[in-house]
Structure 1
Amino acid sequence: MSAGRDEVLALLRANGVIGAGGDWQLVQLAGGWSRHTHRLTDAVSGRSFIVRVRPPGALLDTDLEREYRVYAAVAAAGVPVPAVHALQNAPESALGGPYFVMDHAPGHSPLVWQAGDREALEANWRGDRSVATDVVGALAAIHDIPVAELGFLGPPLSFREAVGRWRAVYDKSAMVADPVVEEAFEWVLARDPGPVEPSLVHADFRIGNMLLHEQRVTAVIDWELAHLGDPLFDVGYAAMPYYAGKFVRAGSPLVGAFAEPEWFVAEYARRRGIEVDPETVRTYTVQGTLSLIAIIGIGLRRFADGESTDPRMAWNRFVIPGLRQDMVRLMGW
């Protein structure tokens, strides 16, 4: 780990982010599916950075430089994200792959499947609603960023292209045919909302991808799936019951355990000055569920094929029955 620390420090110094000296320690943090996360801290000044590494065989092989540029663009627009400082995009490094360095924002990511975190979010909703207000404000700000400033993301994805991408991922990784999943893809495709004005789409927008400190959102993180497309995907995705803590038992009745569903949609629409069709949100909640099933399928396939020994890849199979149940209910079957 000392070689990795020294390499990161050299990169930061070459970019004028830090000076000489300090007592720096690099520690890998738990978690991470497609990125490994390390914290670099100076015991002298207390300054801290986060290093995001794309390791070989990442669950989602997404472009690191693209993610880095999204962080920079979103920060420039005033959305709460950690500032990025340096990118090392060579395929090999002392940390096992390309990486970038950003500020360490205060706070923690709520884990809605733990009763304590879920109940704290629900209590905030019953109180001053600071979390819900910050989340909706951040989402509206993301979708209001001028697309002209995001040309590096390429052309917008149409509805059918976005669904088709996840269908291709699912078809490639599926271990067995699942009629519920296959019918759900057809159900979604039949509900094309039509052309829309494209916006930046986070594509994994949920309370678990935010940092909270003193009941306020300090950062929106994990932008690796970001693209241009229909912003209402993020609204529907955030409303997935799984992301409100559902697993074996039902989770919170609130969106992400932090806001009533009707308020969440209405407040988002008010802030953006648009009308939001609840049926479109429902379509995107099913589409978001399908995307998660496809991602889980990648991990299951890699574990079964011996490409990964990470037990989380196999454990995630227990998530799928609940996701199928959610889709059946949302589709009115």
Structure 2
Amino acid sequence: MSTTTETTGLARRVRERLAERHPGEKLGDLRTLPGGHSGLTFAITAGPVSYVVKAVPPGQRPVGRNDVLHQARILRALAGSPVPVPGVVAVDEDEPAWFAMEFVDGEAIEPVLDEHRLDPALCHSRMLALADVLRDLHGCTTAGTTEPLDLADELERWHRTMRAVPSELRPGAEEVLEALAARIPDGAPPTLTHGDFRLGNVLCQGARPAAVVDWEIWGHGDPRIDLCWFLLFADHRNFPELGHAVCGLPREEDLLTAYLDGRPAPPALDWFRALARTKMAAIMGHNLRRHREGKHHDPDQERLPPTIAAMIRTAGDILARRS
């Protein structure tokens, strides 16, 4: 069966389900939304209402980033919680699986990486507001939906990813990984984690976070993993040749203070700050390798080597200060 035929079949299934929700309303076409990195993403209208549809790509298994039902589960679990998420309106587990969620209008802009003309004061407000959302996220109870990863497993995951990157693209990575493995701290009680928590994955309306999106790799784990990943995006200097200076953004210390909200700082944050940089280097190296092998053509990936090297170097510097 061709991709076109399968997409046509998906459109029929989606339209049938939405017609039950909007009897008598005109249904629009299923339109591909660009920019997604997991599954297939579409938009569709039902009368005056817009929806986003996530579906497993034709011929692919619903695992990893293509497991759209995994995303639907957490969105449903968070409905009515302090964490703003789009509402799920339909789930279809038949192959290829898909779900439909409310369309949330807003901007998802990463101030230090994306091209934009936002007022720096607005970026400042958004980042501080997002620190509050992250605290609320880590306070949510969704026990029993995934098995928590311990820190050794988390580190091994990124060790494997880094090993797959050609050695010339990751100078010093082995030493950093060895230092991380030698200093694994005690784990904290597992909480719900997003996995890629940052402004680029949050739709904002003005200064207000309206919806946290892109839940492909959510799970349960140490909240310091999410926290230090979020802090990494506070400073454009972490991303040589990629980052843009934005005057007046909150510093890491400001975001940490907002997140803690009067609570004491958790221990071993420097280990997690080093882990965040190691993860970023591994992800960027993986993406650059795929581009150079012709698996995902994107010439913009050639800008990554200076940032990959800087992430590894600064991770080592952080660990050295604590040795």
Could you state the TM-score of these two structures normalised by the residue count of structure 2? Answer: 0.83
Q: 1:267 to 1:195 in 2, by over 3 A?
A: same
Equivalent residue for 2:251, pick from 241, 260, 285: 260
Equivalent residue for 1:285, pick from 252, 255, 273: 273
Q: 1:76 to 1:249 in 2, by over 3 A?
A: closer
Q: 1:303 to 1:248 in 2, by over 3 A?
A: closer
**1:22 corresponds to 2:26:** yes
Whole-angstrom distance in 2 between the partners of 1:18 and 1:243? 46
Whole-angstrom distance in 2 between the partners of 1:158 and 1:282? 18
Amino acid at match of 1:100: F
Give SS of 1:109's match: coil
Amino acid at match of 2:209: V
Q: Where does residue 139 of structure 1 map in the other structure?
A: 134
After superposition, residues 92-171 of structure 1 pair within 5 angstroms as 92=96, 98-112=97-111, 113-117=113-117, 119-120=118-119, 122-124=120-122, 129=125, 131-146=126-141, 149-154=142-147, 156-171=148-163
Amino acid at match of 1:29: L
**1:10 corresponds to 2:9:** no
**1:197 corresponds to 2:192:** no
Contact 2:90 2:99 in 1 (8 A): yes
After superposition, residues 14-53 of structure 1 pair within 5 angstroms as 16-42=20-46, 45-53=47-55
Give SS of 1:151's match: coil
Whole-angstrom distance in 2 between the partners of 1:151 and 1:62? 21
Amino acid at match of 1:311: H
Amino acid at match of 2:178: E
Cα offset, 1:166, TM superposition: 1.7
After superposition, residues 230-245 of structure 1 pair within 5 angstroms as 230-241=222-233, 244=236
Q: 1:252 to 1:230 in 2, by over 3 A?
A: farther
Identity across the alignment (%): 22
Q: Where does residue 244 of structure 2 map in the other structure?
A: 251
Whole-angstrom distance in 1 between the partners of 2:242 and 2:305? 13
Give SS of 2:312's match: helix
Equivalent residue for 1:63, pick from 49, 67, 71: 67
Give SS of 1:248's match: coil
Cα offset, 1:91, TM superposition: 3.9
Amino acid at match of 1:260: R
Structure 2 unpaired stretches of 5+: 1-6
Equivalent residue for 1:89, pick from 69, 93, 106: 93
CA RMSD of aligned residues (A): 2.9
Cα offset, 1:132, TM superposition: 2.9
**1:316 corresponds to 2:301:** yes
Q: 1:219 to 1:270 in 2, by over 3 A?
A: same
Amino acid at match of 2:48: G
Cα offset, 1:293, TM superposition: 3.3
Counting matched residue pairs gives: 307
Contact 2:198 2:233 in 1 (8 A): no
For residues 267-321 of structure 1, the C-alpha deviation after alignment (integer angstroms, 9 at most, x for no partner) is: 11116x34234xx333223322332333344444545555x3x322x64243242
Contact 2:234 2:252 in 1 (8 A): no
Cα offset, 1:111, TM superposition: 4.1
For residues 90-113 of structure 1, the C-alpha deviation after alignment (integer angstroms, 9 at most, x for no partner) is: 443xxxxx3221110110211433
Could you state the TM-score of these two structures normalised by the residue count of structure 1? Answer: 0.80
Q: 1:54 to 1:184 in 2, by over 3 A?
A: farther
Whole-angstrom distance in 2 between the partners of 1:170 and 1:302? 13
Whole-angstrom distance in 2 between the partners of 1:175 and 1:241? 26
Amino acid at match of 2:265: E
For residues 5-33 of structure 1, the C-alpha deviation after alignment (integer angstroms, 9 at most, x for no partner) is: 322111334xx533243141322112112
Structure 1 unpaired stretches of 5+: 93-97
After superposition, residues 67-78 of structure 1 pair within 5 angstroms as 67-78=71-82
Q: 1:60 to 1:321 in 2, by over 3 A?
A: farther
Contact 1:36 1:54 in 2 (8 A): yes
